[in-house]
Each structure stands twice: as structure tokens, then as C-alpha cells.
């Protein structure tokens, strides 16, 4: 298996941490912007896109703060993807920080994919 590198994308959203957490941690929230549909069984989410599906395990979460997932094909590795909510203490701006692991030759396309997904999230939140 080749090495992957960690990337982070910070995205400002005009919403509350509570609403944002719901959008990144629940099947119904994720189905609004991240996938066509999302099912959950125990601690595993199944994401559906255009006839394909991927499973991810919830590794850890803290209400209104972050949720970390791991794709089933990354099981046994240290790779994950995470949605972390940051609130600036001075301005009260809310940011979503996406952490992901990518192959070197996939960094640009992965960043573009996340940007498109986060644009959808912003539109749905009206943010």
C-alpha cells in the first residue's frame, strides 16, 4: 500500500455549531449534502452515490465538536476522514475543518471534490 498524506480544508460557514454537527454526524444530515443516501447500522454508515456504495465506521465523535470516520477499505490503517467544528472565540465565526488522507496524485482532485461538497453544504445551510 502506498503512503497517503494528510490534507486539511477549512471552510467558513454562517451557521451554528449544533446545526453543523447535525449535518456532518447524522445519516439524514449527510444525505443532504455528502451522499445520495446514508444508512446506519450500529456504528457503521453506508453511503450511496449513483448506484455505488461505501461503508465507513464512526471512530470517534464529540457532540458539536467533531466526528471521525474510517472507510472500510482503510481498516487497520491510521487513515480516516474527519469533520471538526471550530468557533473563533473573538469573532464567533464557525468553520468546518475537513481532514482527509490522499495519494499525492489525487490531492488536487480530492480538494476539488471536498470544495464542491462543502459548497453544497453551504447552500443547504443558507450559509
pTM: 0.92
Domain count, the chain: 1
- Contact (CB, 8 A) for 47 and 62: no
121: CATH = 3.30.530.20
pLDDT tens per residue across span 34-61: 999 999 999 999 999 998 999 999 999 9
pLDDT tens, residue by residue, 52-87: 999 999 999 999 999 999 999 999 999 999 999 999
Give residue 117's domain range. Answer: 5-125
pLDDT at 126: 86
Q: What is the DSSP letter of 14?
A: S
pLDDT, position 127 = 64
pLDDT tens for each residue of 92-102: 999 999 999 99
**E strands, 1-127, in order:** 5-13, 37-41, 44-49, 52-62, 66-71, 81-87, 94-102
Amino acid at each position: 500500500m502506498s503512503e497517503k498524506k494528510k490534507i486539511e480544508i477549512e471552510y467558513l460557514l454562517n451557521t451554528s455549531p449544533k446545526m453543523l454537527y447535525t449535518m456532518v454526524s447524522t445519516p439524514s444530515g449527510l444525505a443532504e449534502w455528502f451522499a445520495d443516501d446514508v444508512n446506519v447500522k450500529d456504528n457503521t454508515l453506508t453511503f450511496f452515490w449513483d448506484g455505488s456504495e461505501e461503508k465507513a465506521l464512526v471512530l470517534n465523535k464529540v457532540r458539536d465538536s467533531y466526528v471521525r470516520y474510517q472507510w472500510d477499505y482503510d481498516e487497520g490503517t491510521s487513515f480516516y476522514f474527519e469533520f471538526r467544528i471550530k468557533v473563533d472565540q473573538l469573532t464567533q465565526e464557525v468553520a468546518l475543518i475537513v481532514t482527509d488522507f490522499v495519494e499525492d496524485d489525487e490531492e488536487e482532485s480530492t480538494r476539488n471534490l471536498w470544495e464542491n461538497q462543502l459548497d453544497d453544504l453551504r447552500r443547504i445551510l443558507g450559509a
